[in-house]
Structure 1
Amino acid sequence: MKKFRHELKFYITENDYLVLRQKLKLVLRQDHHSVNEQGYLIRSLYFDNVHDHDLHHKNNGVFLRKKFRIRIYNHQDDVIKLEKKSRQGEYILKASAPLNKEEYNKLLNWDYEFLKEKNHALFLEFYHYLYGEFLRPRVIVDYVREAYIGDISNVRITFDKELSFVTNSLDLFDSHTISEEVLAHPLMILEVKYDEFLPTYLRQLIQLDAHNRSAISKYVLCRMASIQYHGM
């Protein structure tokens, strides 16, 4: 059974990143998704309703929140995931289910009926939100993730770089997308996720108190930038 995890987020500089990554390499292993030392590309299509409720809930500090997204890696279609991320304060719970390319294309064309036939609760919940809350694709978010993982308390520490939104498409597989970065160099995002506790040696290594912790939402940053870009 899935359980809520701690998730802490920090803005860090490139200098912080260079120091931390060298330390983490000594004690944690790099995520298997990585295509090189810099990590791997994550591309996510986020959904929100016509009133942007998820966007406003985050901006207004609502304690209980959720987001639906479809996610791919390295521009490939071999792994396509529908995800729901729920949040209670600093605790998160992520539910995930696989899609194939045909099903993804149906969703993009507003054909949702197949979701009722899938043997997974997440698909049925997504179906009800699509019809009951009028969820629609809102923005594509791109970033390069360099991730390090450990077995104790299921620790996962990531550096998310080159955070961008797509300006001209809502199709994850569009080969002619144009992206705009939303964080000025040299800023990037450090995320620390774990189950029951963060091991002391990692807490000391990362020196969390020395960094600027913030309630960062990549969706909100990119959605707000998209609204400004399109003058909406």
Structure 2
Amino acid sequence: MNNKLNYRHELKFMINRHQYYVIRQRMLGLAAYDEHAGHSGEYHIRSLYFDDIDNTALHEKLGGIGDRRKYRIRIYNKQDSLIHFEKKIKKGDYIAKLKEPITRNMVDSIIAGNIEVLDVPDKPLLLELYHEMKHRLLAPRVIVDYIREPFVCRNGNVRITFDKELRTGLHAVDLFDKKLQAVPAIDDNLIILEVKYDEYIPEYLRAALQLEGLTQQSASKYVICRKYLKTNSWEDY
């Protein structure tokens, strides 16, 4: 696990398809696709988010708390070849992420309630998760599913991502369910634009993105999907 926290800026915007096409066309000439994007320039992300018995992650986000954290298991392209348990940390305007690779068997054990697989003293993040699950009853809450189109720019170490087709798995907790009936959590015309950077965004990128003309998005994908649950399936917070 990478124990060194690398805090970065993160900006989020909700844009429509027309804005996406315009900005994406500009990015094609100014930035490169992420090396993991493949021939299509996209990849699929599915995350299983966790929260404790008090729904702390949900309520802190809704309450605008500046310092908070979230836990999730993330897979790519619906495969089990690369699985990470991640902790996303927010401090004011900065974000950082810690992650630890885990196996499919470990995921299956966690979902089945066998949290002892996380009691690994030489892996601090897994041990932290073990204690959160044991003492704070941290448990799976919702699957968040979407397609990501990522661009990177070395100047300023900027990462620009377009997240499309945001869907929620409702009460499902099986990340690998090939028959998962994920349903749209937002209008399919809407796309989430995220911009992450270290110290600065080069002026030519800022001009191409036209950030000043966009409306920042306050709700996270996790909150959007949890609120969908509450609205559509009578989830009791």
TM-score range, shorter chain: over 0.9
In 1, distance between residues paired with 2:184 and 2:35?
A: 26
Q: Give the AA of the match of 2:13.
A: F
In 2, distance between residues paired with 1:45 and 1:146?
A: 20
1:153 to 151, 156, 171: 156
Q: Tell me which residue corresponds to 1:111.
A: 114
Q: Tell me which residue corresponds to 2:179.
A: 176
Q: Tell me which residue corresponds to 2:206.
A: 203
Do residues 21 (structure 1) and 21 (structure 2) align? no
SS in 2 for 1:117: coil
Q: Give the AA of the match of 2:99.
A: S
In 2, distance between residues paired with 1:180 and 1:86?
A: 27
SS in 2 for 1:145: strand
Contact kept, 8 Å, 2:41 with 2:150, in 1: the verdict is: no
In 2, distance between residues paired with 1:137 and 1:116?
A: 18
Q: CA deviation at 1:118?
A: 5.5
Q: CA deviation at 1:39?
A: 0.8
The percent of aligned pairs where both chains have the same amino acid is 41
Give the paired residue count: 232
Q: Tell me which residue corresponds to 2:169.
A: 166
Q: Deviations over 1:4-39 (max 9, x none)?
A: 100000111100100111111112111122244351
For structure 2, list consecutive stretches of 5 or more residues without a partner in the other structure. Answer: none
Q: Deviations over 1:16-68 (max 9, x none)?
A: 10011111111211112224435111000000012211101100111111100
Q: Tell me which residue corresponds to 2:190.
A: 187
Q: Tell me which residue corresponds to 1:70.
A: 73
Contact kept, 8 Å, 1:168 with 1:177, in 2: the verdict is: no
Do residues 143 (structure 1) and 146 (structure 2) align? yes
Q: Give the AA of the match of 1:144.
A: I
In 1, distance between residues paired with 2:92 and 2:169?
A: 28
2:48 to 45, 49, 54: 45
Distance 1:38 1:227, change over 3 A: farther
Distance 1:20 1:196, change over 3 A: same
Over aligned residue pairs, what C-alpha RMSD do you find? 1.3
Q: Give the AA of the match of 2:194.
A: E
Q: Tell me which residue corresponds to 2:6.
A: 3
Q: Give the AA of the match of 1:145.
A: R
For structure 1, list consecutive stretches of 5 or more residues without a partner in the other structure. Answer: none
Q: Give the AA of the match of 1:57.
A: E
In 2, distance between residues paired with 1:132 and 1:117?
A: 16
Q: Tell me which residue corresponds to 1:85.
A: 88
